[in-house]
Structure formats: structure tokens, C-alpha cells
Amino acid sequence: MSRRLAYYRVSTVDQSIEVQRAALGGDFRREFSDEGVSGKTKASERPGFGALLAFVDAGDTVCVYAIDRLGRDAIDIQETVRDLHDRKVTVEVRGLGRIEGKVGELIVAVLAQVAYMEHATIKERLANGKALARATLAATGRTHKGKTSLGGRPVAADAAKVAEWRTSNSASIEATAKNFGLGTATVKRYCAEVKAATT
């Protein structure tokens, strides 16, 4: 008997699969997911997708939110779809429908390449934005978006001075935080940064 199965993937742990689940609508025999797993990790090496492969059987349909949920690399996506087809399993993509036969594989190849290009473009845009922010910060003391530091977290104190004061006074994290008017998390971060820079 044919079963509908769902597969969800998000790249970071602060993201949720709930958007994908809601979009696919439910009514699945079983759901599999990988949370905090990059698309760069081959599908077969992900715990959730590996469990799906162990469970899936001929005649089943695997439903995904988008083709890039299967992977970021165009070749990996194609191999994954081909592997499922070889197992007599249908792949269904939201908004696209069932991927079947050679025509379906051609569509997957094109979509996978588009997804890869989109990812590369976003990466390039982010790199350009960071470079502009660094240059503007060095020239004006503020980024092009008016922030006083990169990453949106303002520099509360000189990390080296905080770490040096703590060491020379044999002070606790709490005492150091109180002395500089900082949070304990900031002091811990500063001390870790200084330690990493000197080792």
C-alpha cells in the first residue's frame, strides 16, 4: 500500500520546520526531519534522511517543501532523487507536483542548479555587505548601516583590557563584570576571545 511520507530540513537550530510542515499540509504516514543540518551535508549522511531511506518502500511518495531541502549541491540532489526513483519511490515537491521519469529528473537538475546559483548569489551579497561594513567602520567608526561594530553587537569595552584586569587582579567573572559595568556573558566572551587570540 502506497504511503505518503514527509521530509523537512532547516539549516540552523534557531529555525523551525513548522513552516514547511504547515505548507505541506499533513496527512502523512510518517515524518522525518533534519534540524540544524546544512544542505552541504549529503542527504544520505543526514540522520533524518537516513532514517527515511531505511523506512521507505516501493510505491511510497516522499513529499518535500522545496527541492533545496534535499540538498544544496545540484549533483547530490539529482543523485538523491535518482536513488529514490530506483527504489520505486515518487518524489513530490510543493508547488511542482510529482517528479517522475526522465522528464522529472531533468526538471530536478534545472531546479537544483537554480537553487545552487541562488545560494551562491546570497553568499556573494553577504560577503560584499560585510566588506563594505568593514571599510566604512574603519573610515568613519560606524558601518554603512550606522552601527558601531560588525554583527550588530556594540563593543562595550576593550576585550584585552578586561581580560588583563581580570588576570592581574585574580578576579572572578562576576567581579570583573561589576568593575567594567558589563554582563557576565560579555566578560566570558571577551576572555575567551583574548585566550583564543594568544594561543
Torsion of CA 77, 83, 88, 90, to 10 degrees: -10
Are 115 and 68 spatial neighbours (Cβ–Cβ below 8 Å)?
yes
Radius of gyration of the chain (CA): 24
**β-bridge partners, 98:** 92
The question of whether 11 is a catalytic residue gets the answer: yes
* Catalytic position from the list 2, 11, 16, 149: 11
C-alpha 120/C-alpha 11 separation (Å) is 16
Torsion of CA 122, 127, 128, 134, to 10 degrees: 150
> For the stretch 148-182, what's the b/e string if a residue is b when 16 or more beta carbons lie within 10 angstroms of its beta carbon?
eeeeeeeeeeebeebbebbeeeeeebeebbeebeb
Are 15 and 56 spatial neighbours (Cβ–Cβ below 8 Å)?
no
Catalytic residue list: 11
